[in-house]
Amino acid sequence: MAKVAPRKVGILVFDDVEILDFSGPYEVFGATRHPNTLAPLFDVVTVADKPTGQPVTTRNGMRVLPTHGLDDCPHLDLLLVPGGLGARTIVGNARVVDWVRHRAVEAELVISVCTGSFILAKAGLLKPGMGATTYHLRIEELAALAPGVRMCKGERFVDNGKVITSAGIASGIDVALYVVGRLCGDAQAHWTARVMEYEHYVPKARL
């Protein structure tokens, strides 16, 4: 059987990004391996609007060295956009918003965690008629940024096909496991959840 290349996952990071928003999904995708061969099924990279070698400083002060800048980022199969206080700044950064918009065209899936949905909205990726969610205290703000989009308050994640949004912080683990299940099968998602000793995986989403 021919070896299948792992899907490339790009996670946008920025100053004041919420740590678990990006690190939770990073762990899920990084831990997902073929149960028999342990071959990785995803190749995860971080991407930032920073010069090469310059770190981002997350919410609560963690320093993270991104794998790529916007200009040298390779093709991405999955694009994940986290949130946090820094998402408010990124919404006003035309360079990053344009990058997200253009990268979304080539991506198989585009996923937001928490207020990363604000960035998707600014990039025009949340269309009228879609459903969406975000951090529970920021639903009204997302509604203002995405007119005509149905707000699914209380949902952990909402799948519109190509675009998937999730609620806040720890919900990023749930949506990443859901994506593993959608792309690789529910048995694989359960395998990854067991490896992580994560007991809350539920393979469902609302459109």
- d(CA 78, CA 89) in angstroms, rounded, equals 23
Structure tokens at 204: 């469902």
C-alpha closest to that of 26 among 1, 2, 47, 5? 47
Do 47 and 69 form a contact (C-beta atoms < 8 A)? yes
Give me the half-sphere count of Cα atoms (radius 13 Å) on the Cβ side of residue 48: 23
**DSSP category for residue 23:** H
3-class DSSP state of 63: strand
184 noted as active-site residue: no
Q: Write down the catalytic residue from 73, 114, 152, 184.
A: 114
Q: What positions carry a catalytic annotation?
A: 114
